[in-house]
Amino acid sequence: MAGRGVVRWGAVTIGLFDPVFNRGGVAAGDDAWLRALLDVEAALARALERAGLASAGSGAAVTEAAATGTFDPAELGTGLTGNPVPGLARALARQVPPAAREAVHRGATSQDVMDTAAMLLAGRACDVIGADLRQAADAAAGLAAAHRGTLMMGRTLLQQAVPVTFGLVGAGWLSGLDDARAGLATVRRTRLAVQFGGAAGTLASLGSDGPRVAALLAGELGLAVPVLPWHTDRLRIIDLAAALAKVTAVLGKIARDVTLLAQNEVGEVREGGPPPLAGAQSGPGGRFPPDAGGSPGGSPPRGKYGGSSAMPHKSNPVAAIAVLGCVKQVPGLVATLIGTAEQEYQRAAGAWHAEWEPFSTLLRLAGSAASWGAGLLGGLVVDGQRMAANLAATEGLPLAEHVTSLLAGVLGQIQAHDLVARASERAVSAGLPLRDVLLGVPELADRLSAAGVSAEQVEAALEPAGYLGAADAFIDAALTAHGGRYG
């Protein structure tokens, strides 16, 4: 990417912002694109040979050259042709035996190779992101199960509402992660298709063999076979973008919850330290160490996790912030991909080219967010005592709805609501627990007594554990659904 800053540590070269925005195993940079383009050209040669349209051994020869040859993106002449495929095809042909050159790029147009390579990149990214989402969901399931009885304050519109449990919060995160992963898997399975249409979508240069070669190419690459070429039908790109947007939306919701719950004034959760890198690889495409270093052998200095350059006392929720930093870029990228879907006739003039960078960036950011999210949930520290203290500090006000429901049966809903509202206002203004006002103010206590409501009933209505509704059942439902999906 032009103008991108890089930092070198030993033999490792990374971008300055890669540790935040290019974390995990998703590879969507120049190297990954070049590898995917070569994979497509090699698979096409094998498909042509299997179809009897190329000499025996040509598929293996092209595959060998694609795997071991020398290809420099700077030498492909992309600026001359508008895309890298013509230069790549010529460079590949020069590195295969003369008898096998007939199998290089035969029947394909540049967009066929680019679009199919994009589908390969997307499939590989979906696999990595899906694994990270599974790790995040398993961690959320563990939180839901472990904290099903951990009482905390529920908050709506950023204000105290009624009691919930942290287990229910975790179950909500779990359900969202499972749904996002299922949606991504559906796109991975059904919407990532080979592109093979030739110059204008007819495969005229291959005659009647064209559809058979397309099917063989799809089989070689593990992609779906479309009904027909989709050069200017970009719904597959939009479907993938939408699935990734859902993934990042779920991760963003979790990260935002963590940043709010980790505020010093709330203090109900905190990050446990640098999240371990999710997935099988060790960096962006496996290119750099998983955390911010520490060893003198080439890694950068570690420093204090979550620290500030100006305020030594700070411990910022770095993983949650990084997730949000990735997520907030996604809507613009998705909007661009939707905007480029209007394409002319059989091949687009510019709109197709406009997809490449936002497409690559979307894969990279979604992969980074998923990797950060898996580490975040896996290392999240829950402070149940602080949750209980915050709930107790409300002095019964969040149970006002429960008290109202107790009184509604004897006073009617409106009168019960008005009575408890007056009691709540007096409790706030006097700095008293709601219980003391309900039972200690003669006017209110007399009305309760006349209605046959005992002090014991009021005390019970003000017990948070008694006003959790179906929270436990919802937790069970989320855990059961998760287990049913993944065992």
Q: Are 278 and 127 in contact (CB under 8 A)?
A: no
Q: How confident is the model at residue 274 (pLDDT cuts 50, 70, 90)?
A: confident
Residue 30 has pLDDT above 80, yes or no: yes
Region 387-408: what's the mean pLDDT?
A: 95
**pLDDT greater at residue 308 or residue 172:** 172
* Global pTM exceeds 0.85: yes
Q: What is the 3-state secondary structure of the chain?
A: CCCCCEEEECCEEEECCHHHHCCCCCCCCHHHHHHHHHHHHHHHHHHHHHCCCCCCCHHHHHHHHHHHCCCCHHHCCHHHHCCCHHHHHHHHHHCCCHHHHHHCCCCCCHHHHHHHHHHHHHHHHHHHHHHHHHHHHHHHHHHHHHCCCCEEEEEECCEEEEEEEHHHHHHHHHHHHHHHHHHHHHHHHHCCECCCCCCCCCCHHHHHHHHHHHHHHHHHHCCECCCCCCCCCCHHHHHHHHHHHHHHHHHHHHHHHHHHHCCCCCCCEEECCCCCCCCCCCCCCCCCCCCCCCCCCCCCCCCCCCCCCCCCCCCCCHHHHHHHHHHCCHHHHHHHHHHCCCCCCCCCCCCCHHHHHHHHHHHHHHHHHHHHHHHHHHCEEECHHHHHHHHHCCCCHHHHHHHHHHHHHHHCHHHHHHHHHHHHHHHHHHCCCHHHHHHHCHHHHHHHHHCCCCHHHHHHHCCHHHCCCCHHHHHHHHHHHHHHHHC
User: Does the active-site annotation cover 309?
Assistant: no
- Whether 308 sits among the annotated catalytic residues: the reply is yes
Give the per-residue pLDDT at 315. 82
Rounded to an integer, the average pLDDT of 373-396 is 97
Q: Determine the pLDDT at residue 282.
A: 44
pLDDT of residue 288: 40
Which pair of structure tokens corresponds to residue 201?
Answer: 């979508």
What's the pLDDT score for residue 12? 55
pLDDT at 312 over 90: no
pLDDT tens for residues 60-96?
999 999 999 999 988 898 999 999 999 999 999 999 9
- Is 397-461 a CATH 1.10.40 domain? yes
pLDDT(290) > 70: no
Share of the chain above pLDDT 90, in %: 82
Average pLDDT of the segment spanning 142-162:
97
Mapping DSSP onto H, E and C, the string for 207-269 reads HHHHHHHHHHHHHHHCCECCCCCCCCCCHHHHHHHHHHHHHHHHHHHHHHHHHHHCCCCCCCE
Mean pLDDT of the chain: 91
pLDDT band at residue 286, thresholds of 50, 70 and 90?
A: very low
- Asked if the model's pLDDT at residue 11 lies above 60, the reply is no
What's the Cα-to-Cα distance from 307 to each of 77, 273, 312, 318, rounded to whole Å?
45, 11, 7, 9
Q: Where are the domains of the chain?
A: 18-290+305-388, 397-461
Catalytic pick among 50, 212, 347, 485: 347
Mean pLDDT of 411-435: 94
CATH number of 18-290+305-388: 1.20.200.10
Whether the per-residue pLDDT at 1 is higher than 60: the answer is no
Say how far residue 1 (Cα) sits from the centre of its chain: 23
- Cα separation, 389 vs 15, in Å, equals 44
- Residue 485 is predicted with a pLDDT of 80
Catalytic annotation, pick one of 295, 308, 449, 454: 308
What's the average model confidence in pLDDT over 122-145?
98
| Residue-level pLDDT at 458 | 93
